C-alpha cells in the first residue's frame, strides 16, 4: 500500500460537484466521545455513478475515503481521527426504495435508507423486515450491512448478512458491481456479497441491497419471566423453542442491575416488579395462524414453574403492555450511557458456556475493584453486552486508569471460552488491537491478502479493521 495524500484542490475538482458539501461537525463525532474525526471533503452522492466518481477520484489522487451511514456505529468505523484527512462519503441522500416484491418477500433499497423507514415500507406491504436494533431510527441499511448488524431478532431471522440477497457496490477501483440479485440460491462464484458485508467499508461501498422480507407473524406475544440464574434462562430458552419452534423471535436477558439503572436514570419508566429480581428474560413470540401466543406463553411459564426454571412472570395482555416490556429492554443502553461505563464489551461465547462465563467474569471484575456490572443482551445468540460501571456514588472518571485492565480481563476470558470480542459491533478503529491480539493468525494473513488484492492503494476506510 502507498502512503495516502490529503485532499488536494485537484482531487476536489474530480469529485462530483453537485454532491460536495461543507463538512458539518456531526460527521466527525464518535458516538461515545472517544475521539474527533477529520474530513478533507464531504461528498453526499445521489447516485451510484456519483459514488463511483468519488472512488475513482480518490484512487487517482491516493486519498482515503470513509463511508458514512447513520453514524451510529460504536467502534469508530465511521470516524477517522488520524492520517491525512479523508473524503467522508455520506450515503444519506441515497434513500430510495427501488422496488418491493411482496410475493417474493424481497425489497430493494438504496443504502442510505433508515432502518425504521424500511420497517414501515415492509409493513405497508404486509411484510416484516426483521433486522432491529436500538438505533433503528437513525441507522442506515448500508452501514447496517457493512457492519453485519445483529440486534434482537437474530435468534429467529439471523444477522444482517442473512437478510441480504444481493448488493450493488462500488469496489475500490471505482468499478460498479451490479449484484442486486434477488435469488435464494445462486452458486456462481465466490461469495463477494458476504465479503463486502461486515467489511466495514474497507473493501468497497455498498450502494443498494436486495433485502429478504418475512411474512408477518399472524399473532405476537411477549412475556417477562424471572429466572434464578443464567443457567435457568438457557433451559427456559430450550423449553420455549420446544413449544414454539422458530416462533421464538427474541429471547433477551436482563439483570437486576439493569432495572436499577433504569429506575435511577428514568424514574418515570414503569418497573415490572416491585423488587428488581436478579435475572429476568424477555420472550417474544410471533406465531402462525391457529396458535394464541398468550396461551403458548402461559404453557411455557407453567412448565417453567414446575421445573423450577422460573418463579415469577408477566405475560403482556395488550399491545401497550408488549411495548412497555420492550421499552424496558430497549432503554437499557441509554440508561447505561447516563450512568457512564468504565468499559463496555460486546461479546459472544458458545451458548453452553454462558453461565460459566458470567460467573467467572463477575469474580474477576470483583477482584479488580468495586464495580457494578450490567450484563444483558441477546441470550439466544450467546451475545452479551457485558458492561462495567463504577460503584454507586462514584464517577467513571475515577476509574479511567482501570479501563484497559477491565477490558483485557473480560476479553481474555471470552477468548478462553472460544468466544468473540466483537459479537455484533464490528472492529472499526476501536478494536483493531483486539483483532490483532485475539484473531487467528492464518485468518488475519488471509484478510490482509484480500485487502491488498481488492484495495491495493489502501484508500477504503483507512485504519479501520486492519492497520493501514
Q: Nearer to a copy of itself by C-beta: 121 or 450?
A: 450
Contact letters (x/-) for a copy of itself, 51-90, by CB under 8 A? ----------------------------------------
Task: Single out the residue of 175, 363, 397, 404 in contact with a copy of itself (rule: CB under 8 A).
Answer: 175
Task: Single out the residue of 422, 458, 459, 464 in contact with a copy of itself (rule: CB under 8 A).
Answer: 422
Residue 168 beta carbon to a copy of itself: minimum distance, rounded to whole angstroms: 10
Instruction: Count the site residues for a copy of itself by CB under 8 A.
Output: 98
Residue 21 beta carbon to a copy of itself: minimum distance, rounded to whole angstroms: 28
Interface with a copy of itself in residues 338-397 (CB under 8 A): 348-352, 378, 380-383
Residue 217 beta carbon to a copy of itself: minimum distance, rounded to whole angstroms: 7
Task: Find the part of the chain contacting a copy of itself (CB under 8 A) among 32-40, 282-290, 392-400, 405-413.
Answer: 282-290
Q: Nearer to a copy of itself by C-beta: 137 or 245?
A: 245
Q: Nearer to a copy of itself by C-beta: 241 or 394?
A: 241
Interface with a copy of itself in residues 125-164 (CB under 8 A): 147-148, 150, 154-155, 158-159, 161-162
* Nearest by Cα to 51 from 77, 78, 90, 97: 90
Task: Find the part of the chain contacting a copy of itself (CB under 8 A) among 113-121, 135-143, 265-273, 417-425.
Answer: 417-425
Q: Nearer to a copy of itself by C-beta: 45 or 73?
A: 73
Beta bridge partners of 225: 281, 313
Task: Single out the residue of 420, 457, 458, 464 in contact with a copy of itself (rule: CB under 8 A).
Answer: 420
Residue 216 beta carbon to a copy of itself: minimum distance, rounded to whole angstroms: 10
Task: Find the part of the chain contacting a copy of itself (CB under 8 A) among 251-259, 288-296, 304-312, 330-338.
Answer: 288-296
Q: Nearer to a copy of itself by C-beta: 112 or 286?
A: 286
Task: Single out the residue of 29, 101, 117, 321 in contact with a copy of itself (rule: CB under 8 A).
Answer: 101
Query: CB–CB of 73/426 below 8 Å?
Result: yes
Residue 73 beta carbon to a copy of itself: minimum distance, rounded to whole angstroms: 11
Contact letters (x/-) for a copy of itself, 291-330, by CB under 8 A? x----x----------------------------------
Interface with a copy of itself in residues 5-24 (CB under 8 A): none
106 binds a copy of itself (CB under 8 A): yes
Strands 87-90 and 41-43, bridge-based pairing: parallel
3-state secondary structure the chain: CCCCECCCHHHHHHCCHHHEECCCHHHHECCCCCCECCCCEEECCCCHHHHHHHHHHHHHHCECEEEECCCCCCCCCCCCCCCCCCEEEECCCCCCEEEEEHHHCEEEEECCCEHHHHHHHHHHCCEECCCECCCCCCCEHHHHHHCCCCECCHHHHCCHHHHEEEEEEECCCCCEEEECCCCCCCCCCCCHHHHHCCCCCCCCEEEEEEEECEECCCEEEEEEEEECCHHHHHHHHHHHHHHHHHHEEEEEEEEHHHHHHHHHHCCCCCCCCCCCCCEEEEEEEEECCCCCHHHHHHHHHHHHHHCCCEEEEEECCCHHHHHHHHHHHHHHHHHHHHHCCCECCEEECCHHHHHHHHHHHHHHHHHHCCEEEEEEEEHHHCEEEEEEEECCCCCHHHHHHHHHHHHHHHHHHHHHCCCECCCCCCCCCCCHHHHHHHCCHHHHHHHHHHHHHHCCCCCECCCCCCCC
* Nearest by Cα to 271 from 345, 335, 328: 328
* Nearest by Cα to 246 from 148, 133, 153: 153
Q: Nearer to a copy of itself by C-beta: 274 or 442?
A: 442
Residue 203 beta carbon to a copy of itself: minimum distance, rounded to whole angstroms: 8
Contact letters (x/-) for a copy of itself, 177-216, by CB under 8 A? xxx-xxxxxxxxxxxx-xx-xxx---x-----------x-
Q: Nearer to a copy of itself by C-beta: 369 or 439?
A: 439
Amino acid at each position: 500500500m502507498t502512503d495516502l495524500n490529503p485532499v488536494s484542490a485537484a482531487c476536489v475538482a474530480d469529485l462530483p460537484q453537485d454532491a460536495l458539501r461543507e463538512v458539518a461537525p456531526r460527521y466527525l463525532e464518535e458516538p461515545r466521545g472517544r475521539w474527533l474525526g477529520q474530513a478533507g471533503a464531504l461528498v453526499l452522492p445521489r447516485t451510484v455513478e456519483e459514488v463511483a466518481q468519488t472512488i475513482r477520484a480518490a484512487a487517482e489522487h491516493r486519498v482515503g475515503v470513509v463511508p458514512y451511514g447513520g453514524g451510529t456505529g460504536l467502534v469508530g468505523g465511521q470516524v477517522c481521527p488520524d492520517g491525512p484527512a479523508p473524503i467522508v462519503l455520506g450515503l444519506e441522500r441515497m434513500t430510495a426504495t427501488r422496488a418491493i416484491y411482496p410475493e417474493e418477500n424481497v425489497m430493494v433499497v438504496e443504502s442510505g435508507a433508515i432502518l425504521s423507514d424500511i420497517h414501515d415500507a415492509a409493513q405497508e406491504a404486509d411484510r416484516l423486515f426483521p433486522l432491529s436494533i436500538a438505533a433503528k431510527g437513525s441507522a442506515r441499511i448500508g452501514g447496517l450491512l457493512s457492519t453485519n448488524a445483529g440486534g434482537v431478532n437474530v435468534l429467529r431471522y439471523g444477522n444482517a448478512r442473512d437478510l441480504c440477497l444481493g448488493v450493488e457496490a462500488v469496489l475500490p477501483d471505482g468499478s460498479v458491481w451490479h449484484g442486486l440479485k434477488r435469488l435464494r440460491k445462486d452458486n456462481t462464484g465466490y461469495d463477494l456479497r458476504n465479503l463486502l458485508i461486515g467489511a466495514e467499508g474497507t473493501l468497497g461501498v455498498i450502494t443498494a441491497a436486495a433485502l429478504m422480507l418475512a411474512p408477518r407473524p399472524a399473532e405476537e406475544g411477549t412475556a417477562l419471566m424471572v429466572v434464578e440464574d443464567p443457567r435457568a434462562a438457557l433451559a427456559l430458552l430450550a423449553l420455549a423453542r420446544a413449544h414454539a419452534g422458530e416462533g421464538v423471535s427474541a429471547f433477551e436477558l436482563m439483570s437486576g442491575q439493569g432495572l436499577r439503572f433504569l429506575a435511577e436514570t428514568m424514574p418515570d419508566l414503569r418497573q415490572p416488579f416491585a423488587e428488581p429480581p436478579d435475572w429476568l428474560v424477555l420472550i417474544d413470540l410471533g406465531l402462525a395462524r391457529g396458535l394464541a401466543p398468550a396461551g403458548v406463553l402461559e404453557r411455557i411459564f407453567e412448565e417453567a414453574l414446575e421445573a423450577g426454571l422460573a418463579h415469577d412472570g408477566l405475560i403482556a395482555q395488550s399491545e401497550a403492555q408488549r411495548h412497555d416490556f420492550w421499552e424496558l429492554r430497549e432503554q437499557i443502553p441509554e440508561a447505561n450511557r447516563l450512568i457512564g461505563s468504565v468499559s463496555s464489551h460486546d461479546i459472544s461465547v458458545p451458548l453452553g458456556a454462558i453461565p460459566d462465563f458470567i460467573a467467572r467474569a463477575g469474580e474477576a471484575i470483583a477482584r479488580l475493584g468495586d464495580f457494578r456490572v450490567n450484563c444483558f443482551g441477546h441470550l439466544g445468540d450467546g451475545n452479551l453486552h457485558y458492561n462495567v460501571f463504577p460503584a454507586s456514588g462514584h464517577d467513571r472518571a475515577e476509574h479511567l486508569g482501570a479501563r484497559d485492565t477491565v477490558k483485557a480481563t473480560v476479553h481474555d476470558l471470552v477468548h478462553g471460552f472460544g468466544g468473540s470480542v466483537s459479537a455484533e459491533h464490528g472492529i472499526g478503529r476501536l478494536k483493531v488491537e483486539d483483532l490483532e491480539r485475539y484473531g487467528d493468525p492464518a485468518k488475519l494473513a488471509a484478510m490482509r491478502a484480500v485487502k491488498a488484492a481488492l484495495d491495493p492503494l489502501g484508500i477504503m476506510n483507512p485504519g479501520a479493521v486492519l492497520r493501514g
